[in-house]
Amino acid sequence: MTESLIIGLATIIFTGIIAQWLAWRLHIPSILLLLIFGFALGPATGLLDPDEMFGDLLFPFISLAVGIILFEGGLGLRLSELATIGRVVRNLISVGALVTGAVAAVAAALLLNLQPSLAVLLGAILIVSGPTVILPLLRDIRPIGQVGSILRWEGIVIDPIGATLALLVFDALLAANVREASGQAFIALLQIVIIGAATGWAGARLLALMLRRFLIPDHLQNAFTLMLVIAIFALSNTLATESGLLATTVMGMVLANQRSLQLKRIVEFKEDLGVVITSSLFVLLAARLEFAQLLGLGWPGLVFLAVLILIARPLMVYLSTLGSTLQRNERLFLAWMAPRGIVAAAVASIFALELSHQGFADAERLVPITFLVIIGTVMVYGLTAGPMARRLGLAESDPQGLLFIGAHDWARALARFLQEEGVKVVLVDTNPRHVFMARNEGLNAVQGNILYEEVVEEMDLGGIGRALALTSNDEVNALAVLHLADVFGRSHVYQLPLRRGPADALPSYLVGRVLFDEDAGFRVLSERFGQGWSLCKVTLSHAFDYDAFVEACRDYALPMFVLENGRLRILSTDQDYTPQPDQTLVALVAPGHTLAEPKETPEETSQPALPDRNT
């Protein structure tokens, strides 16, 4: 028994992570492969039986895991964002949630022939969104404007609200009469809101206090945080049934908005843990589903799904955004993004099992209906949200824009040149004079410290896909690269070569990709621009290819970028790339020279080579 349990746990984690990896490689929503793997292990082959493996521990484990996921989601919520999107978010999680639940309940009763009471419960369950699906999609799409923040807030906050409403309906189903049900629902709602919010707030304040006073050593921060999240979840659930989800969400949100508190290690740990938990949960829940139940829904099930996608979501977004400042394309995108995820699956599974034990006919149908909605919405939104965002002008498939860390003289010159070539640029600098001059030159510039989480989160990075750290301070460049690697990926963050020595003198995780040339540090580039060197471009050809360019121009030109059909390639020291004919090469060129023709003799044209940065 012990060996089979160990093998089962290992299989769940292994298949879950493999599914995540394959989804990344194939550029498809991971939840699709997680469900397929779960189906394959459970109903298709019978290799995995979660009920037999976990017994009575299955649903407590699922509930606790969902609480941890919501805590991780709460860590990404910044109250400062509500200054501009608060009204829309409030409407989506209140009026919008009621509209979604009502439409879903009516459609379930009419199309799926569910009992009215069960239809209302299903409507409450389907109020929840899918942060485990939405957040990865938003990271990939990176939409412009406010829609990304709105969807993130809605996706995280609506889950405990939907779970609470579902619990109230569930309690009402078990009550003896309407009056009793109304009184129980009101009392339960007060208990969940007050106790959940209070315990979550207290847990966050306690953890913040201990972190500020260095009462928790660095190597125990992650373990202590996880322990406290579990303890708060259990305490809140003990005081008020099913209030734990609200408690962990509030705990994460309050903790994320504490000033002067470093949470990077905790956030990274929770993100990694969230991937393992989410993967395992989807495999587990999918393994419990019977194919016959899913296929038995037939065409009415597909029509029900269409009602949710084409009627319920657009209607609730329309009503929730009335009078807002959102543009038409932003509203359309909001109306086309409502995937359901792990919370809906977990809540439906728990309540269906309890109602079945209470003798409710058709209660087991809640699970296949919910899974049909999860699969359908993930497929529709996951495969079409990116193209939809690009069609609406809210995102780019492969953003070519650059974020410049530093807005000094020659950084602005680089940004102006690239902007004139059609490349989107954003500059960030702590120096107000640099920012003022950049804006006067028609550049998009932000004053702030790029190392602050708030600065990055409040910047509009739509269309920006890479970052260049161009400050005079090697440490700032290295820290900026380390910080922005979480935003753009390590392969898309660059920095100037170090003054003290080659980049490999520092650990690789502290150094980004080195720009241009090992000898082209900040001092050298500043001198060259100060001496009148300028940016020029030349279109390579078979007659004048890159080898010919290097032979003729290497003493007075420094290659920097390659342009081709609206795409920008950044030249760095870690790649062996040769620009091809018909591509446009951008280089920094000494005064008195051009890139149009190779010079006749090196003696007539040569300038001193780039000096060693250590001299």
Q: Which CATH number does the domain housing residue 288 bear?
A: 1.20.1530.20
Verify that 278 and 414 share a domain, yes or no.
no
Verify that 341 and 460 share a domain, yes or no.
no
Verify that 405 and 382 share a domain, yes or no.
no
Q: Would 46 be classed as within a structural domain? A: no
At residue 157, the 3 state secondary structure works out as helix
pLDDT exceeds 70 at position 422: yes
Mean pLDDT of the chain: 79
Instruction: Provide the domain count of the chain.
Output: 2
Which band of pLDDT confidence, cut at 50, 70 and 90, is reported for residue 177?
very low
Verify that 365 and 418 share a domain, yes or no.
no
Verify that 378 and 408 share a domain, yes or no.
no
pLDDT at 501 (0 to 100): 52
pLDDT exceeds 80 at position 570: yes
Last-in-domain residue among 331, 364, 391: 391
pLDDT at 307 (0 to 100): 94
Q: Which CATH number does the domain housing residue 555 bear?
A: 3.40.50.720
pLDDT exceeds 50 at position 609: no
pLDDT in tens, 17-32: 898 888 877 777 677 7
The CB density around residue 264, as the number of other CB atoms within 10 Å, is 11
Verify that 474 and 360 share a domain, yes or no.
no
Which band of pLDDT confidence, cut at 50, 70 and 90, is reported for residue 613?
very low
pLDDT in tens, 503-560: 445 555 566 678 887 777 888 888 888 888 888 887 877 777 777 777 777 777 788 8
- Which domain does 478 fall in, by range? 401-605
pLDDT in tens, 460-475: 676 777 888 888 887 7
Q: Would 582 be classed as within a structural domain? A: yes
Spatial distance between the Cα atoms of 327 and 404, rounded to a whole number of angstroms: 28
Q: Are 43 and 291 in contact (CB under 8 A)?
A: yes
Output the CA–CA distances (angstroms, integers) from residue 49 to 40, 46, 291, 420, in the order listed: 12, 7, 14, 61
Q: What is the b/e burial string over 212-236, where b = at least 16 CB atoms within 10 angstroms of the residue's CB? A: eeeebeeeebbebbbebbbebbbbb
Select the highest-mean-pLDDT range: 93-102, 493-502, 591-600: 93-102
pLDDT at 100 (0 to 100): 92
Q: Would 418 be classed as within a structural domain? A: yes
Mean pLDDT (whole number) for 373-401: 80
Q: Would 24 be classed as within a structural domain? A: no
pLDDT exceeds 60 at position 387: yes
Q: Would 306 be classed as within a structural domain? A: yes
Last-in-domain residue among 391, 426, 448: 391
Strands (E), 448-597: 464-469, 493-495, 513-514, 534-539, 557-564, 567-570, 584-589
pLDDT at 506 (0 to 100): 55
Conformation bin of residue 487: beta by default, left when phi > 0, alpha when psi is -120 to 50:
alpha
pLDDT at 315 (0 to 100): 93
Q: What is the b/e burial string over 386-419, where b = at least 16 CB atoms within 10 angstroms of the residue's CB? A: bebbeebebbbeebbbbbbbbbbebbbbbbbbbb
pLDDT exceeds 70 at position 132: no
Verify that 410 and 365 share a domain, yes or no.
no
Tokens 């409450």 belong to: 124
Q: Would 3 be classed as within a structural domain? A: no
Q: Please tell me the pTM assigned to this model.
A: 0.69
The CB density around residue 550, as the number of other CB atoms within 10 Å, is 12
What is the sign, positive or negative, of the torsion defined by CA atoms of 41, 46, 50, 53? negative
Verify that 294 and 382 share a domain, yes or no.
yes
Q: What's the DSSP call for residue 55?
A: G
Closest CA to 403 of 471, 472, 454: 471
Spatial distance between the Cα atoms of 309 and 495, rounded to a whole number of angstroms: 45
308-311 own/partner pairs: CB under 8 Å, 24+ apart: 308/100, 308/103, 308/104, 308/107, 308/126, 308/338, 308/373, 308/377, 309/338, 309/376, 309/377, 309/380, 311/103
Verify that 423 and 368 share a domain, yes or no.
no
The vertex-240 CA angle with 239 and 241, nearest 5°, equals: 125
Verify that 544 and 440 share a domain, yes or no.
yes
Closest CA to 418 of 400, 434, 438: 400
- Provide the token pair at 11: 């299989």
Cross-strand bridge partners of residue 515: 572
Closest CA to 227 of 262, 191, 273: 273
Spatial distance between the Cα atoms of 397 and 378, rounded to a whole number of angstroms: 19
Verify that 443 and 475 share a domain, yes or no.
yes
More confident residue, 100 or 584: 100
DSSP H/E element including 45? none
Q: Would 23 be classed as within a structural domain? A: no
pLDDT exceeds 60 at position 602: no
Spatial distance between the Cα atoms of 608 and 556, rounded to a whole number of angstroms: 8
DSSP H/E element including 428? strand 425-429
Last-in-domain residue among 335, 358, 391: 391
Verify that 459 and 537 share a domain, yes or no.
yes
Q: Would 165 be classed as within a structural domain? A: yes
What DSSP line would sit under 61-97, residue for residue? HHHHHHHHHHHHHHTT--GGGHHHHHHHHHHHHTHHH
pLDDT exceeds 80 at position 237: yes
Q: How many CA atoms lie within 13 A of 207 on its CB side?
A: 32
Mean pLDDT (whole number) for 172-179: 58
More confident residue, 400 or 587: 587
pLDDT at 318 (0 to 100): 92
